[in-house]
Amino acid sequence: MQLTIFTCYFLIIFGIGWYSLKRTKSESDYWIAGGKLGWLVGGATMAATHTSAGTFIGTIGVIYSVGWSFGWVVLSIPLAYWFMAAVLAPRFTKVKQLTLPAFLEARYESKKARAVAAVIILIATIVYIQAQIIAGGLVANIVFGIPKLNGMVIFTVILLAYTVVGGMIAVVYTDFLQLIIMCIGAVVSVPLAIRHFDSLGNLLSYVEAIKPTAFTWEGMPAVLLFTLGLAFFLGSVSTPEKVTRLYAMKDMKTIRRGILLTVLVVTIINLLVFILGLSGMVLFPTLPTGDMAMPIIAKAVLPTFIGTLMLAAITSAMMSTVDSLLLVAGSALSEDIYRSAFKPNATRKERLKVARIGIFIVGIIPLFLIISGIGEGELIQFIVVLFSALMAAGFFVPVVIGLWWRRATKQGAIASMIGGVSITMLWKAFGDASIDPVLPGFLVALLLFFVISLMTKPPGEKAISQYLS
C-alpha cells in the first residue's frame, strides 16, 4: 500500500509539472507565476515553502532531544510574517522584479550588488537543500528499507524533474497540493498518537517522568534559544523564496490575506508537530538521533494508511521548500549572473536553458557534499537554521533598512552582504556554539551597512524615489 500511495503521489506531481510547462508562456510566468496569484494559492505556497523537513523532521527531532523549550521559537514566525506584510511588502512591491537580486540592483543601481546577492543565494541554497536531501534519504530508509544514499538520490531526481520543467507555476500548484497533504497528515496523526496515552495530560506526565527537564529552560542555553528565534524571525522576512512570493501575488490586499493564511497554517502545524515530538520521546526514548522520531512514529505507531499519509506529508514538506529554493537558485544563475554580468542580450530561450542547467547543478551539489561527509550527523533543524542565519545576515539589512533609509549606498549594501555572510560562516565553524551565528553575522552586517554608507557618496534620487516616495 505504501509504495502505491507514494507512486500515485509522485505521478500527480509530475502531471502538475507537465501541465505547468504548457501554461508557461513568459519569463514572468516561469519566475513569479505571472504575478497574478490570488490570496489562497499565494498564501498556501508561502506556507508550504516555510514548512519543510525542518518542521516535520527537524523540529520534532529537537523537541525529542531537548524538550519543549525549543517550542518558543514558533512565536517568532507570526511576528515575522506580520512584519513582512505591514513593513516590507508595501514598499518592496512598488516595482515588481523577477528576483531579489534584481530588486537590489534597482534599489542601489549596482550590478555588483546583484551579483553578490546571487552568489549568496547559491551558497545558502546548497546548505538548505542538504538538510532536505538527508531527510529524504531517512524517510526512504525507514519506510521502504532503501539504503539512505539511494533514497537521497531518488528524492533528488524526482524533485529536480518537475522543478526544471514547470518553473514557478509548477511550484505554486504542487505547493498547494502538498500543503493540503501536510495539514491532513498532521491533523489526523496527532489524535492517533495521543490515543496511545489516553489523553494529552497523560502524555505530558509521561514526558516529565522520562525527561524531567523537558518542560524547563534547561534543555538549551537561554542565549541559544533567543538567537535561534532571531534567526527564524530575520530569516523568514528576508529569504528570497519567500519575498519573491510577494511579487507573485497580484496586489497588497491579496498579499495581506495570503500572509494571514500563512500565519494560521504554519502556527497550527508547528503546534501539532510539537505534540508529535513529545509523543516520540515517550514511545521511542532511545533513538540514536531525534531526526528519526517522526518517520518511526509514522511507520510503527500510526495505522498503515494514516502513517503513509503522514510520510507523504513529510515528503511534501521537503519538496515544497526545495523546489522553491531551486527556482530561486536558477533565477540567480540565469537572471542575476548570466544575463546581468555576462550576456545582457541573451534570448529568453538561452536564459531559461541556463536556469534549468543551474537548477540541476545546484540540486546535485548538496548530494555530493553529503556523500563526502559534509553536514553528516548534524540535526536537520540546525542545518535549516544555518540557512536562515545566512539569509538574515546577507539580506535583511540591505533589503529592509534600504527601503527606509535614503542615505544607504551600494557600497554599504555590498559590504553588509559580504561581511554578514562571512562572519556567519566563520562563527559557525569556529565560534561559541551556545550563540547562533545569526547574531554576530547580523550585527556586523548592520555596522558595515551604516558605516560604509556614511563614508561613501550619497545615492542619486532616481535609485531611491521609486521605493521611498
Asked whether residue 432 is assigned to any structural domain, the reply reads no
Asked whether residue 402 is assigned to any structural domain, the reply reads no
pLDDT of the residue at 423: 96
CB atoms under 10 Å from CB of 236, counted, come to 23
pLDDT of the residue at 376: 55
Q: How many CA atoms lie within 13 A of 293 on its CB side?
A: 33
Spatial CA neighbour of 245 closest among 359, 132, 168 = 168
pLDDT of the residue at 187: 83
Helix 461-468 × helix 100-108 angle, to 10°: 130
Asked whether residue 444 is assigned to any structural domain, the reply reads no
CB atoms under 10 Å from CB of 466, counted, come to 13
pLDDT of the residue at 449: 97
Instruction: Report the CATH number that the domain containing residue 363 is assigned in CATH.
Output: 1.20.1730.10
Asked whether residue 284 is assigned to any structural domain, the reply reads yes
pLDDT of the residue at 419: 96
Residues in the chain where the model's pLDDT stays below 70: 1-3, 5-6, 9-10, 13-14, 16-35, 52-54, 98, 159, 161-175, 178, 309-310, 313-314, 316-324, 340-341, 373-381, 469
pTM for this entry: 0.79
Domain count within the chain: 1
Asked whether residue 430 is assigned to any structural domain, the reply reads no
* Predicted confidence (pLDDT) per residue in 1-57, tens digit: 666 766 776 677 667 656 655 555 555 555 555 557 788 878 887 887 777 666 777
Give counts: helices (H), strands (E), the chain.
22, 0
Asked whether residue 457 is assigned to any structural domain, the reply reads no
Asked whether residue 455 is assigned to any structural domain, the reply reads no
Unique residue bearing C-alpha cell 521611498: 468
pLDDT of the residue at 81: 87
What whole-number distance in Å separates Cα of residue 302 and Cα of residue 227?
Answer: 35
The parent domain of residue 280 ranges over 2-375
Cell triple for 258:
495570503
pLDDT of the residue at 418: 96
Asked whether residue 446 is assigned to any structural domain, the reply reads no
pLDDT of the residue at 65: 82
Whether the CA torsion 168, 163, 85, 340 is positive or negative: it is negative
CA 189 to chain centre: 24
